[in-house]
A and B are shown apart, each in its own frame.
Chain A
Amino acid sequence: MLLIVAPCNRVYEGSIRCSVKHVTTIIIVEDDSSVNLAVSRLLEASGFDVRSFTSAGALLADARACDADCLVLDVHLPDMNGFDLQRKLVATGFTAPVVVITAHDDAMHRRAARDIGAFAYLTKPFSSLSLVDAVSRAAAADR
């Protein structure tokens, strides 16, 4: 079942407790450099090992693409949409769960996220808690 997290309508008022017990590798594919950096920082500060990419091509060219416990995937990428990228990755043996993030939420994207078997679907701006929680649970489900 796809976990859908609505956009955050209030600032999260508390500290985020890191629930990561093992070093878990997260791949981020997000073309907006500000969002990419902010999400990378958040996940690193939460104890994850993070590798970030700003395009589908850059990830596909990386031989270590399959060595990840979770993929945080933006839908709108400059060279390919996130769903097509996930399908290409699966064709190369990638099995890690996917957390979809998007600034453009609509029924078509939700359906596409379901179709690729995404673990969670987060609409920007999302609270840090919701992302860390989704990534932690996705990575745990992969083990």
Chain B
Amino acid sequence: MAVQTVLIIALLVQNRRYSRARADVQRQYAEITHAARLALIGEITASVAHEVTQPLSAILSNVETAELLLSQPQPNVPMVREILKDVRQDDLRADSIVRRLRTLLRKRELQLEDVDVNALASSVLSLILPDAVRRNILIRTALDPALPRASADPVHLQQVLLNLVINAMDSMMSTPPENRVLEVRTERSPGAHLTVTVLDKGEGFEPSRRDTLFDSFYTTKTEGLGLGLSIARSIVRLHGGAIWAENRLGGGAAFAFTLPFKGP
């Protein structure tokens, strides 16, 4: 009886140690992922600032126009009402950009939800659009309208997409401006998976490096630690998916990842 008691206590202690170690690993994963996400957001700061400035600029012009109209002997009240409606819309637009950013800044462990991947891809592209325009990069999308919802963590998934999209843009800086095209595709794949592909017309990668692209500290950039793709792979794998890269015929690279979905 005494031996059994000792064994049970030993097992309980071991189990508690294991749980603590697991919690530590999860916490460290969340810390590293969050740090990488902050670095990514740093890269799109100018783009986000541009997006926020547009509605602020429209609000300022609209409010000052309303003041001008109201100072006239017979103010055009219907026009002032229209202006106020637009001011409200622009305010909400700026707020939505800030909210999206705040969501990305949140530190969190993996929390699976039903996610509309097409909407999520569009949201990521809207964040980088001003940067793409500034770099003369044309953005194309081919989003499957019948795409099932994925079981994913929307914040971590945005991080993966943002990483791939920023890499794609960076890879095209030596491409002639007229050929700079970034494309994001979504499609349903066999085996209850959906696939997201980011295609560029950049320099591609050394075929011999294909297997090490997703390793930590692999980078072709002069700035950056080379953790982005490694973390992207960890996130995708935690979702039960896979990530890979291929060079495209005619130049450029395609980075794709799969995610499982629920339902038929």
Q: Give A residues with C-beta under 8 Å from B.
A: 8, 11-12, 15-16, 32, 34-35, 37-39, 41-42, 45-46, 76-78, 81, 103-104, 124-129, 131
> Contact: B56 with A42, CB < 8 Å?
no
Interface range, B side: 20 to 34
Q: Distance (Å) between the CB of B176 and the closest chain A CB?
A: 14
**B58 near A128: Cβ-Cβ < 8 Å:** no
Inter-chain contact B57/A124, CB cutoff 8 Å: yes
A103/B64 in contact, CB under 8 A: no
- Render B71-101 as a binary contact track against A, CB cut-off 8 A, 1 for contact: 1000000010001001001100100000000
On whether the beta carbons of B46 and A104 are closer than 8 Å, the reply is: yes
- Closest residue of chain B to A44 (Cβ to Cβ) is B65
Contact B58 A37 (CB under 8 A): yes
Q: What are the residues of chain A within 8 A of B133 when measuring CB–CB?
A: 76-78
Shortest CB-to-CB span from A126 to chain B, Å, is 7
**Which parts of B39-73 form the interface with A (CB within 8 Å)?**
46, 49-50, 53-65, 67-69, 71
CB distance from B247 to the nearest CB of A (A): 29
Asked whether, in the complex, the Cβ of A12 is within 8 Å of the Cβ of B64, the reply is yes
Known contacts being A16-B68, A125-B60, A127-B60, is A103 close to B89, with CB within 8 Å? Answer: no
A45 to B61, CA, bound (A): 11
* Closest B residue to A7 using CB positions: B53
Report which of B50, B54, B65 forms a contact with A34, defined as CB distance below 8 A.
Answer: B54
**Contacts A34-B54, A103-B53; A128 near B134 (Cβ below 8 A):** no
Residue of B nearest to A31 (CB): B133
Complex Cα–Cα for A38 and B57 (A): 9
